[in-house]
Amino acid sequence: MGKHDKTEFRWTTPAVEPEKISYDPPKDEYYKARITTLEKENRKLREELDKRASWYGTGKDAFEEKLNELHDENAKLCEENWKLRNALIREAIRDVEV
């Protein structure tokens, strides 16, 4: 059993024939029915999308209104905070000078 020893290969036919698989593609009626089903589903989904888009559209206006109110309130609070900070600094400086 050296490295270069040759072994003889003999092809033997299998005892059992391999199973052959045949495939018949679906007929045109299958594809037509599938397309019709998908078109119906697509129509339902588009209706749902349109319904939600109109609902979210009205909600968007209310959301933007509330968001603008929050921005205004935040700006007012920031200005008040700035005034109070400056007042505290003036009082601290006045206490130090006296």
Q: Tell me: the pLDDT tens digits for 14-67?
A: 677 777 877 777 788 888 899 999 999 999 999 998 888 777 766 777 788 888
Structure token digits, residue 81: 């905070």
What is the number of other CB atoms lying within 10 angstroms of the CB of residue 86?
A: 10
Residue 71, SS3 per DSSP: helix
Check: pTM over 0.75? Answer yes or no: no
**Terminal Cα distance for the chain, rounded:** 109
Q: What is the pLDDT of residue 11?
A: 77
Longest dimension (CA), the chain: 114
Task: Give 9 or 2, the one with higher predicted confidence.
Answer: 9
Q: What is the pLDDT of residue 64?
A: 83
Q: Which amino acid is at 69?
A: E
Q: Is the confidence at residue 98, as pLDDT, over 60? A: no
Q: What is the pLDDT of residue 12?
A: 77
